[in-house]
Amino acid sequence: MSSTYSPDLRIELIAEGDQAGTWGTTTNNNFQYVFESAIAGFQQVPIAPTSNNQVLTYVNGASSVPSLNQSVYAILELVPSSVSANFNVFAPPNSKAYLIYNTSGYTATFYNSTIIGNTTPAGGGITIPNNSKMSIWTDGTNFYGADDTAGGNFSVVGNLAIGGNLTVTGTTTHTGAVALNGGGTSTTPANSDNSTKIATTAFVQNIAGGLGTMSTQNANNVNISGGSINGVSGTNSGLTVGNASYATNAGNASTVTNGVYNNGGTYSINITGSSGYSSSSGTASNANAVFGKNKLGLGITSEAWQAPGKGINTQYYNGYSYPIEVAASCGVNNGPTYIAFYINGTQISQSSYDANGAYGRGTLTFIVPPYTYYQVNGSAGTTFWYELY
Amino acid sequence: MAIKHYKDADNNLHGFPDDGSQDHLIGDKILLTDEEYAVLQEQKTQEFVASLPAEVRMALEMPSQQEQMEALLAGGQTAADMLAKIKAIKAKYATA
């Protein structure tokens, strides 16, 4: 009768009556190279995976060469040999506990083989990041981390990094600063809450929407870029309004910038008491006094006719903040001409011209609003194209 | 300021200033040489004419009133040729 081997550590089990006179050597080898190695043995495992998979070595019985029986050892350090990517490590499909120190430079994932020596995962794996020391165990099918629950208090002397989510049922206390780099949420305090609770965006918006009477504003400037200002009254209040579309009854303001005065439905510019501007209604001596623009278009503020080299049947874009005027002609000698223009793809007008054999040209002159596309389609080549900008 | 011309996926033509001020509108349009632009512009002109109502296309093709008057005054074969030409154009667009 020959020896058999135990299922988990593959210990050589001597058949009864066998190995007369030599069984002591076999037994000692079991103690030294299997029991001792499985309890306290340490060795380095050079990582040189094939297709990112590496199998821990194994033998039946004991071996005095540690590298031939890596899978039986208690403590393994994964060291780089020929590795350039994350890899898997396959252990025999038997229950076992390991202490792993991964210094390979890459993340290792431990699996059980379905059959000892192969690289087919029998079940779930456990991931061990580079430079991590982990206690793991397997039931022969799935690998687990050994320490997923602390029964009593748990203290960390160094830093604590959590790759997943953190759920705290009780309260947390932070003595140092807390950085919420990904944003954070909180319950919204009541509007009347004047404690040290965190103000959420909802809280701020509720407060901002119900300011009521603001008796004192000590800031140097209050910049209101949208909405409207209503109910402002008082004399010599030093109110400054920037870019306001309507500033009604603001005669006592010391400064009105870019204001358009609505006088009972009649729009006029009424700037009183501002140096550099006329106080008479309907006068804008500078484009900056209207809508805050440097140019108003159409020749009002130094625009001039230009020949930009544009042509028919081609779309163009008015990228200016003011309207431009376009004058375009097309046609051939001795023939009628048809011409049309479009704003943002919509035909606005058309014209046909029959010169009765003379020098005939279809011509259109039109205004292009700011930031719009325009196009002139014609039945014959471009002869003139000028733009006022 | 010069203009650089492009075509889009449907061969529609677009012009942008070469100072780069509207380059954000170019997208995946294809830059054209002057020669390519001229060819496509003529093609778009023909497409535009073809899209016009039949009566407009007939008017564009018809000899000018001055040509018709001169042919009428010349009489003879010249007037007959002009009449034939006018009839041919009318016949062409009568079935359009």
CA distances from A253 to A183, A235, A239, A318, B48 (A): 43, 8, 5, 37, 58
pLDDT band for position A280 (50/70/90)?
very low
For residue B29, which of B10, B43, B46, B44 has the smallest C-alpha distance? B10
| Neighboring chain A residues of B58 at a CB cutoff of 8 Å | none
Nearest to A315 among B12, B56, B66 (CB): B12
C-beta separation of A144 from A137 below 8 A: yes
Q: What interface predicted TM-score (ipTM) does this complex get?
A: 0.86
Residue at token pair 């005065």? A261
Residue B28 has pLDDT above 90, yes or no: yes
Average pLDDT, chain A: 82
The residue with greater pLDDT, A50 or A165, is A50
Q: B46 by DSSP, 3-state: which?
A: helix
Tokens of A282: 């309907």
Residue A156 has pLDDT above 90, yes or no: no
Give the mean model confidence (pLDDT) for residues A208-216: 56
Q: Which CATH architecture has domain A305-388?
A: Sandwich (2.60)
Nearest to A354 among B5, B48, B65 (CB): B65
Identify the pLDDT of residue B96: 47
Identify the pLDDT of residue A120: 97
Per-residue pLDDT reduced to its tens digit, A4-37: 999 999 999 999 999 999 999 999 999 999 999 9
Identify the pLDDT of residue A87: 98
Among chain A residues, the shortest Cα distance to B51 is held by: A379
Q: Which of B4, B8, B12, B13 to mutate to test the interface with A (most CBs of A within 10 A)?
A: B13
The residue with greater pLDDT, A223 or A328, is A328
Q: Where in the sequence of chain A do the CATH 2.60.120.40 domains occur?
A: 305-388
Torsion, Cα of A359, A365, A371, A375 (10° steps): -40
Phi, psi angle pair for A168, to nearest 5°: -120, 120
Q: Which of B4, B39, B47, B64 to mutate to test the interface with A (most CBs of A within 10 A)?
A: B64
| Neighboring chain B residues of A352 at a CB cutoff of 8 Å | 56, 59
C-beta separation of A128 from A135 below 8 A: no
The residue with greater pLDDT, A285 or A384, is A384
Give the mean model confidence (pLDDT) for residues A76-89: 97
Cite the DSSP H helix spans in chain A.
23-29, 36-40, 201-208
A220 Cβ contact partners less than 8 Å away, ≥ 6 residues apart: none
B56 Cβ contact partners less than 8 Å away, ≥ 6 residues apart: A338, A352
Count other Cβ atoms within 10 Å, centred on residue A121: 19
Residues of A at the B interface (Cβ-Cβ below 8 Å)?
306, 308-317, 319, 334-338, 352, 354-358, 377-381
| Neighboring chain A residues of B64 at a CB cutoff of 8 Å | 334-336, 354-357
Residue A362 has pLDDT above 80, yes or no: no
C-beta separation of A75 from A42 below 8 A: yes
B5 and A377 within 8 Å at the Cβ level: the answer is: no
Size of interface A-B (CB pairs under 8 A): 75
For residue A338, which of B20, B64, B57 has the smallest C-alpha distance? B57
CA distances from A166 to A125, A126, A130 (A): 22, 19, 22
Torsion, Cα of A362, A363, A367, A371 (10° steps): 50
Residue A282 has pLDDT above 50, yes or no: no
Tokens of A143: 């690998």
B66 and A311 within 8 Å at the Cβ level: the answer is: no
Identify the pLDDT of residue A254: 45
To the nearest whole angstrom, how far is the Cα of A180 from the nearest Cα of chain B? 36
Spatial separation of the C-alpha atoms in residues A56 and A58, rounded to whole Å: 7
What percent of chain B is modeled with pLDDT above 90? 72
Residue A45 has pLDDT above 80, yes or no: yes
Nearest to A317 among B12, B22, B67 (CB): B22
Nearest to B13 among A314, A355, A357 (CB): A314
Find the range with the poorest average confidence among A48-57, A148-157, A295-304.
A148-157
C-beta separation of A167 from A144 below 8 A: no
pLDDT band for position A266 (50/70/90)?
very low
Identify the pLDDT of residue A290: 61
